[in-house]
Structure 1
C-alpha cells in the first residue's frame, strides 16, 4: 500500500477532495489500520459515504487524518446519512475524480488552490438532497475520529451557507454555494432537520457529546439533472473563504469546467518540468505518477496562517521532514524553486512562533510534531538553499533560528556531552551543526562557524569503533544497521572507522543481501516473534524505510559506483509498478516517489551538502527544468529496462557508466555540485553492461576535520 488516494488535487495546493469510506489511512479504500505485514480488509468492496476534503498522501499512522466537510448527494432520507454505497466507474486524473454511487448519482470532483467544486448528476427523485456534514473528521478506526472542539454553522439563504469548525486547534472555515434553483436550504442536527433555523453554535464538544450537524439543500430532481456545489476554504474565517471562492470561481458560472481546466493546466506545467524519453510505456507511466505524487504535498495556504496575522506563505502537511528532506525537498528546490523558498519562510515563521523548527507540521496546533523521528532536519534544506544563493530569505535572521534550534530538545544533551540517545539524534545534530556552520561562514561569522564545525565532528561519538556500526540504542523504525550507512559530511572518516574501503563495502554487501538467501516477507497478522526475527537479519528494509533511502549511494564513497547501479536499478525494476500495489510501502507525502524520480534520471541529492551523485539513468534521455534553465541528461549505449514486477520482459540488465562528459568536457567524478545541476547544461553518460573504472578513484567530497581537530 502506497497509502495514496486517487482524489482531486492541485499542485502543492491547500485543498484535496476524494471519496470517503473511512478506511485507513487516507479515508479512501478498503483497509484497516496496518503498520506491519499485509493489510487486512475493512470492507469487501470500494464504497463511500460521501466526499471529503483535506487528505494525507502516502503517510502511515500519523493520527490526524483530516477528511473534513463531507458532502453527500442523497436520494434517501437524512436518517441514513453515514451509510456507505458502492463505488463504480471510477475515473482519476490530475485535478479530477469521478465515480458513481450505488444510488445512481454520478459524482465529479475538482479542486483549485483553495476551493473545491463538486458536480452531481441525479436520477429522478422526488426528494433529492445535497448534505454537508461539518462534524466529519478522521477515520472509522479505533482512535481515528477527529471531533470538532467548537463549531458555528449559518444558513444564508439563496443556496448559500457558511460555517467554521475548530479541528485540532485550527479554525477551518468554508463558504459554499449550491447551484440548485428551487431547492430549499436548511440546517440539521443529529440527523434531524431544523425547520426555519438559520444558525447553529456549538462549544466544548467532546467525543461523548458529539452529534453530527451541518446544512443541506433539498428538492426534486429530474433524471440527468446536474447540481454544482462550490466550496471556498480558509483558515482565517468565512469572509476570507468567500473571497477565495470568488477569486477562483467567479464570474464563471457554473464553475466546474473552468476550475478543472485551470488545475489541469497547472498540473501539465508542473509535470513538464521533468521530461523523459525512451523506456517502456509502463516505466514512463510510473515515472509520471511518481512526479505527480511528489508535487501534492506540502500544502501551501498563502496568507492563511491561523497563528499569525501577517500575510505571506504558510505551509502544512510537512509529513514529515524526516521523510522528505533527502529527496522531495531537493526536487522542489529544483523544479519549483519559488515554492521551496516559501516553505523555508514558513518554517522560519513557525520557529519564531513555537520556538522550534518542526520535524513535522500538520494542519493542527500544539506539540506532537514527530520529534522522536529526528532532530534539526530543517537545517539541511536551509543550508542547500543558501549555497544556491536563493533570494527571498533573510539569512541573518534564518541563522539566528538555526543556531538557537540546535540547543533545544535533544540538542541540549548534545551540546553538553557530544552524544545523545537515541543515538541517531547524535548524527542528526552533528550534521545540523555542519550545515549551520556553512551558513555562518558564508555570513562571515567565523567564530560561530568554527565552534559549530568543531561540534559537527562529534558524529564519530555515535559509532562503536570495534564494530564500525552505531552504538546500541533505541531506534525509530529501523535498527542500527539501517542507520549506520547514512551519508555524513565526513564519509572518509566514516569509512576509515569501518576499517577502510573493502571492509565498508563488505558491510554494505551484507546489508543489501548480496549472496544471501531471499528474505521471506511477513503476511497477515505477523507475530512479534516473526517480526523480531526479520529485523534481526540486519538487512535493507526497503526504500520506504527512510534511513535506507540514501544507503545505495554510500558505495560511491568507497569507490564502487557499480554496486550503487546494481541496487538502484534492481529497485527501479522490481519494486515499482503501475497497479494498485505499485509502490513498495508508504509514499510518505511524496518522499518515496521523489526518490524514484531522482534515481530514474541518474541523480541523487545529498541533502545539506549542495551535492548530487551520478548513476546510470533508467531512461535514454531526461530533461530537468531547473528554474529558467534546463539540464539535459542523455545517454549512449542505453538498453531497455522493463519493469520486472509487471512481468514485462526478462530480468533487466544492469547498466554501468563507462564515461561521462558535462557540456562536452570529460567528467571523471561521480558527483556534481548542486550549482552545476541548477545552472543547466548537457550531461552525457556512456553506458555499458559491465562495470568500469569510471568514478572509482576520485571520490565525492568529504569534509574531514584537520588533524588537530579530529575526535
Structure 2
C-alpha cells in the first residue's frame, strides 16, 4: 500500500465515523455509545420558562472596580448602565465626570452628559459621541450631580433625577432613542448638545433649527490607533426653542445657528499594538491617569437650547443616528419611531425584545443573587456587536464607500476579535443563529472591503489592536454551531489570502517557514502568544475547510495548527519563546516578555484543540493534574503570576482542561468557584473588563455547565449546572432541556448523567446537542464521584494531525530499500538510514495519531530541531515537539511542517547506510516512500 493509498484508507475511516461530514483525526477518537434520533428522544420532563427575565438584569454591574487593576484594561467590567436594544446602534448612557472605559464610574455621582454611543467593557476608550445634557438656566454647565437613590436602569431604559430636581428618562430602539426631560416648575428649561465631543479626540458640526438639532461627529483613536468614523444625528423635540445658540468659551452666542468645533480626548489609551508596545519601551499598562476627570468646557460645536415649559414641564426628544448619512439618521428615526410612540411605549417594546432574547435561556431554582448575576451576564453578552447598517441596508464600508446589505440582512460592527472568539460568539450563535449568520457575513464584508481581516474593529475601520487572527475563528465557529446563512466559501478564500498579509498576520512569513514566530519577529509584541493564536486560527479554518469539502486546505491548515509543538521545551514543560536558530533564551514561567497580557504559566495551557497532545508532552495526566491544581489555587492572580488570571482572556479555557485529564470533578469545582466568586450582581460584580461581552459570556456558559472549548467546533465540555432547571431555546425550533435536581453553589459534582435518555460517563457532548437539541439529566452531589468521567476513553476529543487509528508497516524508498534505524538500536541520536529490508523491528514504523513516525518506542526526529537543507534525521525519545512532526502527503513524501522540507535520501544514493536528511521537497524518487504491512 502506498502512502497515498494509506492516507485514503485512513481518511475514509475517519469520514465514515463522522456522519457524512469531514472530520479531523483525533488523538482519542470519541466513541458514541448511544444517541437517540430526534423521534426517539424522550420528551423533556420539564420546560423551564421565566416571566420578564429583564427584571433580573442589573446594568450597573461592571461599573465599579471589582478587583485589582493589573494594567490590562482595569479591574472593573467597564460596562455602561444606559439604554440599548440588543446589539443596538444607539446606546444612550450617562457619562460621569471621572472617566472609566465605558463612560461611567459608579463611585462618581456627577454626570457630564448622556452620549449616544458606547462600547461595553473594552480596555480602551472610544465612542461617547454627542453628549446631551439637560440643565436649568441659560448658562452652560459642565455637569450635574445626582444620587444613586434617584437612579434606575433596566434593559432598554435608564432614568435619573439630578439633585436640582431635573429628571431624565431614556429609552432606545435599534437605531434611535427617545428622551423625556422633566424640568422643575419655575425654572428655565435648557439643554446642551455637543457634536464635537467624545471620549477620544473628536470634531463635529451642529445645526440648530426651530425644534431640531442635527449634525455629525468625527471620532476614533481606539487604543491610540488611527481608526476614524463619522456619525450623523438628528434630534427632534416636541417643544419649539424659545432661545438657542452656540456655546463658545463658556458663553452663549444666540446669533449663531451652526458651528464646527473639536475637543481633546480624555480616555487613556494603553499600548495594544506592536507599534505602541515598542513606543512604550517595556512599560506595561496605560501611560495616562487611569480615571481622569473630563473638562467642563464644550467643543465649540455645542448647541444650547431653551424651552417654554410653563404649560408642560416635560420635553420629549427623539433622536436618530446613522454612520452613513444625514438622510439615513432621519430615516432611521422615522422608521423606528413611526407613529410617534411615547417613551413608555418605546421602553416597553424594547424590554419585550430583551425578554424574548434573554428568555432563550430560562433558569429556575437558583438564589436571587445567582439569577440576577446570570441574566445580567446574558444581557451584557448581547450588547455587541452593534448594528451598523441603516433601516434601508446602507452602511459605510472599510473601503470608504457606501454599501448596501442584501434584503433582510444586517451589517454589524464593533468586534473585539481577540476576546470574543473564545465563547461570546458561540453564545450568540447558540441563541440567535440568524443574527450570528449576519455577523459572519458582516465579517466577510469587512475583510473583502479592507482586503484583510482586522483583529479589532470599531464602526467601519480596523485598529490593529491585540494579536492573532481571530476573525476566521469567529466565522468558522459560527458555521460549526449551525448558523450557516452566509458565504462561508468566500470567507474561507479571504481568510486563506489573509494568512499571507502582514496586516492580518504580522510575521506570517516567519510563522509559515519555521512553524512558529521567533523572538524578534518584526511587527509582533508577543511571539509565543501570537504563535498560539495563529495555530488556533489555522485549526478553526481547517474545520471550516473540511466542512466545505476542501480537503487539501483542511489538511495543510491542520498541519500548521501543530506549530505549538515548536515552542514546547521538553526541559521546562512550558511553551516558551524561541530564537530563530531554534535556541531557547533565558526563561522563567512568570515572564511576560513575548506574551500578551499574561505570562508563560498562563499561556502554556492555550492549546484548546489538542489538550491530549499537550498533556502527553507534559508527562501525561499524572503530571498535569497536580500542575493544574497549583495553577488554579488562585483564580485571578494577574499577569506575571504562576496562577490563573481569569479576569482576562488567556486563562479562560484552563478550568475546563481537567475534563481532558480524567478529572471532571475538578472542572466542576473550579468553574463553580469562578462563577460564584468572580461574578456578582452588584456594580463591582466583575473583576476585569468585560470585552464586549466575552467575560459575561463565560459566566453564562459556566452557569449552565457547558463550554465551547475548541474554536471551529461545536462540541461542548462539561462542568455542572448551577441551576436545577435550565431550558435553552435556539430560535430554530431546537431546544436543550437540562435538569440537575439539588444543584447549588455547593452541590456541584456529577455522579450520573443521561443524555437524551441514555446513560453517559463522558464529560462532553457532541455537536448534535447544538444542532438538534436534546435533554441532559444530571445526578449531582456535594462530594466528588471518584469514577464518573475518569476513563481515558470518555475524555473530550483532542484533534491531532495523524491518522485516528495508527498505521504500522514498513516504509520503502529507492530501489525497494527500507527506512531503517541504524543497527536496530533504540538509543537517542541513532542515525536513520536507507538499508536493505530485513524484517527487523528497526524497520517497522508506525504513523501515530499525534503526527509522529515511530519505531522501537521512539520517534523520527530532526537533529537539534534543525530545519535547513541537510539536517540529519535521527531516532529520539518522543517529546511532543515540532521536530518530530511528519505529514504523510498524498504525493508519497514525508513532510516536516516546521521545516517546510521533506525526508530525503541524499543525492538519491542507494547504498546501505546512507543517512537520511531534510531537503527541499522536489517530487523525486528520493523523497517517495511507500508503506506496506
TM-score in terms of structure 1 length: 0.87
User: Is the 1:410–1:425 contact (alpha carbons within 8 Å) kept by the matching residues of 2?
Assistant: no
Judge which range, 437-446 or 481-490, deviates more. Answer: 437-446
Which of 621, 627, 638 lines up with 1:501 in the alignment?
621
Match of 1:267 among 354, 367, 378: 354
Aligned counterparts, 1:302-313, within 5 A: 302=389, 303-307=393-397, 308-312=401-405, 313=410
1:163-562 matched pairs, under 5 angstroms: 163-168=215-220, 169-181=228-240, 183-201=242-260, 211-222=299-310, 225-252=313-340, 255-302=342-389, 303-307=393-397, 308-312=401-405, 313-318=410-415, 320-363=416-459, 365=461, 367-370=462-465, 373-408=466-501, 409-421=506-518, 422-472=527-577, 473-513=593-633, 535-541=639-645, 543-562=646-665
Whole-angstrom CA distance in 1 between matches of 2:636 and 2:376:
29
Give 2:763's aligned residue.
670
Deviation at 1:67, TM superposition (A): 1.2
Q: Which moved more, 1:481-490 or 1:336-345?
A: 481-490
Measure the CA separation in 2 of the matches of 1:499 and 1:15: 52
Q: Give the Cα separation in 1 of the matches to 2:372 and 2:264.
A: 46
C-alpha separation in 2, matches of 1:24 and 1:201 = 25
Query: What SS does the aligned partner of 2:130 have?
Result: strand
- Any gaps of 5 or more consecutive residues in structure 2? 1-75, 221-227, 266-294, 519-526, 578-592, 803-846, 853-884, 886-933
SS at match of 2:693: helix
Give yes or no for contact 1:631–1:683 (8 Å, CA) kept in 2.
Answer: no
CA contact (8 A) 2:388 2:459 kept: no
Q: 2:316 is paired with a residue of what secondary structure?
A: strand
- In structure 2, the residue matched to 1:615 is 719
Identify the residue that residue 818 of structure 2 maps to in structure 1.
Answer: none
DSSP 3-state at the match of 1:216: strand
Structure 1 residue 238 displacement after superposition: 1.0
Deviation string 1:245-278 (CA, Å, 9 cap, x unpaired) is 101113225x322221221111111110110010
- Secondary structure of 2:458's aligned partner: coil
Give the match's secondary structure for 1:346.
Answer: helix
* Cα offset, 1:86, TM superposition: 3.1
- Quick one: structure 1 residues 537 and 216, their matched pair in 2 at CA, closer, same or farther if it must change by over 3 Å? closer
Q: Distance in 1 between matches of 2:724 and 2:207?
A: 58
User: Aligned-pair distance for 1:417?
Assistant: 1.3
Deviation at 1:45, TM superposition (A): 4.3
Query: How far apart are the structure 2 equivalents of 1:383 and 1:48?
Result: 42
1:399-421 deviation digits (Å, cap 9, x = unpaired): 11121122232322211211115
Question: Residue 69 of structure 2 aligns with which residue?
Answer: none
**CA distance 1:219–1:544, shift in 2 (3 Å):** same
Question: Is this contact kept in 2: 1:375–1:429, CA < 8 A?
Answer: yes
State whether residues 202 and 263 of structure 2, in contact with CA within 8 Å, keep that contact through their aligned partners in structure 1: yes
Cα offsets for 1:324-356 (capped at 9, x unmatched): 111111000010111111111111111112232
SS in 2 for 1:592: helix
| Separation in structure 2 between the aligned mates of residue 243 and residue 639 of structure 1, nearest angstrom | 50
Secondary structure of 1:629's aligned partner: coil
Aligned pair partner of 1:154 in 185, 207, 232: 207
Against the structure 1 CA distance between its residues 392 and 703, is the aligned structure 2 distance closer, same or farther, given a 3 Å change threshold? same
Question: Retained in 2: the 8 A contact 1:8–1:95?
Answer: yes
Q: 2:790 aligns with which of 671, 675, 696?
A: 696
* Equivalent of 1:59 in 122, 136, 139: 122
Q: Cα gap change, 1:272/1:416 in structure 2, threshold over 3 Å: closer, same or farther?
A: same
Partner of 1:624, secondary structure, is strand
Q: Choose 447-456 or 417-426, whichever is displaced more.
A: 447-456
- 1:586 aligned partner: 689
| Contact map agreement 1:325 1:381 (CA 8 A) in 2 | yes
- Tell whether the 8 Å contact from 1:568 to 1:599 is kept in structure 2 after alignment: yes
Tell me what 2:61 maps to.
none
* Distance verdict in 2 for CA 1:619–1:205, change over 3 Å: closer
For residues 293-340 of structure 1, the C-alpha deviation after alignment (integer angstroms, 9 at most, x for no partner) is 11111111223532242212332222x222211111100001011111
- Do the aligned residues in 2 keep the contact of 1:12 with 1:299 (CA within 8 Å)? yes
Following the alignment from structure 2 to structure 1, what is the Cα–Cα distance between the partners of residues 318 and 643? Answer: 51
SS at match of 2:214: strand
- Three-state SS of the structure 2 residue aligned to 1:489 is coil
Change in CA separation of 1:182 and 1:56 when aligned onto 2, cut-off 3 Å: closer
Aligned match for 1:86, one of 113, 138, 146: 146
Separation in 2, partners of 1:639, 1:344 = 36
Distance 1:210 1:288, change over 3 A: closer
Question: Does the aligned pair in 2 maintain the 1:601–1:622 contact within 8 Å?
Answer: yes
Q: Supply the distance in 1 between the matched residues of 2:800 and 2:241 (Cα, whole angstroms).
A: 75
The structure-2 alpha-carbon separation of the partners of 1:328 and 1:636, relative to structure 1 and needing over 3 Å to count, comes to: closer
CA distance change for structure 1 residues 2 and 210 in 2, over 3 Å: closer, same or farther?
closer
1:102 and 2:163 are equivalent in the alignment = yes
Q: Closer, same or farther in 2 for the Cα pair 1:56/1:25, shift >3 Å? A: farther
Deviations 1:202-225 (A, max 9, x none): 6x9888998422323213433971
Conservation of the 8 A alpha-carbon contact between 2:129 and 2:198: yes
In 2, the alpha carbon distance for the partners of 1:683 and 1:56 equals: 36
Equivalent pairs counted in the alignment come to 653
Aligned to 1:120: 181
Which one is further off, 399-408 or 91-100?
399-408
- 1:654 and 1:508, CA in 2 relative to 1: closer, same or farther beyond 3 A? farther
2:780 to 677, 683, 687: 687
How far the C-alpha of 1:243 sits from its partner, in A, is 0.5
Deviation string 1:418-452 (CA, Å, 9 cap, x unpaired) is: 11151121122122222222222333332222222
Cα separation, partners in 2 of 1:364 and 1:352, compared to 1, 3 Å: closer
* CA–CA distance in structure 1, aligned partners of residues 609 and 345 of structure 2: 49
5+ long unaligned stretches in structure 1: 32-43, 139-144, 522-533, 642-652
Deviation at 1:24, TM superposition (A): 3.0
Compared CA separation, residues 520 and 589, structure 1 to 2 (3 A) = closer
1:122–1:592 distance in 2 versus 1, CA, 3 Å: same
The question of whether the paired residues in 2 share the 8 Å contact of 1:294 and 1:328 is answered with: yes
Which residue is equivalent to 1:644? Answer: none
Asked if the contact 1:115–1:233 (Cα under 8 Å) also holds between the matched residues in 2, the reply is: yes
Q: After TM superposition, what 4+ stretches of structure 1 lie above 6 angstroms from structure 2?
A: 204-210, 518-521
Alignment CA distance shift 1:299-1:265 (3 Å): same
**Does the CA-based 8 Å contact 1:5-1:18 persist in structure 2?**
yes
CA distance in structure 2 between the aligned counterparts of 1:495 and 1:390, rounded to whole angstroms: 32
Deviation at 1:23, TM superposition (A): 2.5
Name the SS of the counterpart of 1:447 in structure 2: helix
Residue from 80, 99, 102 that aligns with 1:5: 80
Q: Which moved more, 1:170-179 or 1:207-216?
A: 207-216
User: Is the Cα contact below 8 Å between 1:654 and 1:689 reproduced in 2?
Assistant: yes
Alpha-carbon distance in 1 for matches of 2:429, 2:102: 30
**What TM-score results when the alignment is normalised by the length of structure 2?**
0.67
CA spacing shift, 1:225–1:491, aligned 2, 3 Å: same
